Structure 1
Amino acid sequence: MESILKSIKRGKIPVNPAIVISNRQDAKGIKIAQKLGVKTEVIESKGFKGNRWDYDKKIVSVLSKNGVTPEKGLVCLAGFMRIISPEFVKKYKNKIINIHPALLPSFPGLDAQKQAFEYGAKFSGCTVHFVDSGVDTGPIILQKIVQVKNDDTAETLAKRILSKEHKAYPEAVKLFAEKRIKISGRRTIIS
């Protein structure tokens, strides 16, 4: 999130960030967004009684109030560790993107860097993708590759992947903002 917001501030991405939403008051991203002058809102999920869509309707309401609609806007998941509801995904179809610290479709879910390291992969990296109703299964926008070195640990690999994530996510947002992404089935075509 910080990389995206700083890229916007530097004029590298032609958008105006509307709002940063977190489900935790103590989220580091809230403080970063406020420091960068971006509006924030916390919608606590801890202790929330109801289903995922009931919670997500609150997020949709805040997004809509801030001009992030399915017709115009993009939702970037960055450190948001909740699985969003199928209703939210359907409402914002092809308008929600996420980043994953592996070369999808390999190693989806949690601890992807550790999974790649333990599997003995020779290459790993990160993937920016559209969100669909699965976990890390949406159409891939772009990927960045990291070679797994002989002296790597899961932690050193994760650190190198993170540096690629900081470049890949802003690049994907820029492609979206410039309307250079077209989805054809499972594939994304970049013009």
Structure 2
Amino acid sequence: MRIVVLISGSGSNLQAIIDGCNDGRINGSVVAVISNRPDVKGLERARNHGIEAITLDHRNFDSRETFDAALAQHIDNFEPELVILAGFMRILTPTFTGRYLGRMLNIHPSLLPKYPGLHTHKRALEAGDSEHGVTVHFVTAELDGGPAVLQARVPILESDTEDTLAARVLEQEHRIYPQAAGWFCEGRLTLQGNAALLDNTPINTTL
């Protein structure tokens, strides 16, 4: 399958997806990487693998709607079957999310529905949680609210800081995102209604 990846930063999850395509875990190829921020490391990662790297700076647009329309045009030029958000730090309009409903995945560093939005590691520590983690989910119009596909859990240690906790969560992100993308590219992962199905069965999200 043809995959377009949207990024805003270093692209470590992008790298995990590229690696998954290269080693056969994902039956697909990344055909383009689009960043809303210029000169980020993720664009360099794409170029290093011969993947088209595009900057579409959101600051050049006068509204969220006009940016999303331009972004959709860029994506559609590559005719992808799957759109992957990999650290793409933009709230997307319902028109955009509806356009790619059922074929757009996101990864979020919390055990959704806990802690949608930003600063998830800090919030988990401040709440005194015993565990934290990461969720791959289908993207819908609700912020970080689409049906979960996979979750990975990590224990919170007494010695943890935001940085140490984030580092352990990131390791799990790199593990489960290629797994979810691989299922999708094999035709095994689908969105039906408000449920993620694996092999036409409601999915057990913990891997």
Indicate the TM-score class for this superposition, using the shorter chain for normalisation. Answer: over 0.9
For structure 1, which runs of at least 5 residues remain unmatched after alignment?
A: none
Of the candidates 160, 171, 180, which is equivalent to residue 179 of structure 2?
171
Of the candidates 46, 60, 65, which is equivalent to residue 77 of structure 2?
65
Secondary structure at 1:125's aligned position in 2? strand
Task: Give the 5 Å matches for 1:102-181.
Answer: 102-181=110-189
CA distance in 1, matches of 2:188, 2:181: 10
Report if the CA contact (8 A) 2:87-2:107 is conserved: no
Amino acid at match of 2:56: I
Structure number having the greater strand percentage:
2
Shift of 1:32: 0.5
For structure 2, which runs of at least 5 residues remain unmatched after alignment?
A: 1-13, 200-207
Of the candidates 83, 92, 98, which is equivalent to residue 90 of structure 1?
98
Q: Which has the higher contact order (CA 8 A, sep 6+)?
A: 2
The CA RMSD measured in Å over matched residues stands at: 1.2
Amino acid at match of 2:49: L
- Pair 1:41-2:54 in alignment: yes
Task: Give the 5 Å matches for 1:22-33.
Answer: 22-33=35-46
Secondary structure at 2:164's aligned position in 1? helix
**TM-score normalised per structure 2:** 0.86
- Residues 98-120 of structure 1, C-alpha deviations (whole Å, 9 max, x = no match): 10111000011101111111111
- Pair 1:14-2:22 in alignment: no
Shift of 1:134: 1.4
CA distance in 1, matches of 2:60, 2:29: 33
Shift of 1:184: 4.0
CA distance in 1, matches of 2:178, 2:55: 23
Secondary structure at 1:97's aligned position in 2? strand
Equivalent residue pairs, number: 186
- Residues 64-99 of structure 1, C-alpha deviations (whole Å, 9 max, x = no match): 11122xxxx111011211111111111111111110
Q: Which runs of 4+ in 1 moved over 2 A?
A: 182-187
Report if the CA contact (8 A) 1:18-1:67 is conserved: no
CA distance in 2, matches of 1:147, 1:121: 9
- Pair 1:77-2:85 in alignment: yes
